[in-house]
Amino acid sequence: MGYVFTVEPSKFEEISRGLSARDTALFFAYGKAADVFSRHPAALVLGADTVVALDGEIFGKPSDDEDAKRMLGRLSGRTHTVYTGVALLGEGIRELAVVGTEVTFRVLSAETVAGYVESGLPRGKAGAYGIQDGWPLVEKINGSYTNVVGLPTEKVGTMLAAAYGGK
């Protein structure tokens, strides 16, 4: 998109508040952005958070390999929704958005799940997977691919252009 960013991890603690998946993604994104903005009030701060939802259950990052296997087993052969909340904060700027994408998983064999988990790739990823990892997990998506990766660049680009006066 042509923007230069400095990455600064947030100290915001992601604690479930009993919100919907969509609202959780937005709450966490805003919390992260607000934390960093509080330390850099002259900056334009972008915060984002992604969650996976299936049947009302929110799948965040797996706590361990067994949790990753549980998540992947639940997602196998099913369609779930990936929500990414995005918060853009700056002087006089408070833009919030949530992007949802439907993802349908292939039916995963026990061997595929075990191999993927043993690769270490599920660690630190909402829903215990990364669509970009190159494993045959996803059958199809309906919506933004970059949203499933973790940052809906189409929406972020629009938000940044508006913040910078359409430039």
Helix, strand, coil percentages, rounded to 5, for the chain: 35, 25, 40
Q: Is the CB of residue 58 less than 8 Å from the CB of residue 85? A: no
Q: Does residue 64 have an active-site annotation?
A: no
Q: Could you tell me the end-to-end alpha-carbon distance of the chain, in angstroms, rounded to an integer?
A: 11
Indicate which residue of 23, 35, 49, 55 is catalytic.
49
Locate tokens 């369609």: which residue? 79
Q: Is the CB of residue 81 less than 8 Å from the CB of residue 103? A: yes
Q: How far is CA 90 from CA 45, 48, 160, in A?
A: 6, 15, 11
Q: What are the catalytic residues?
A: 49
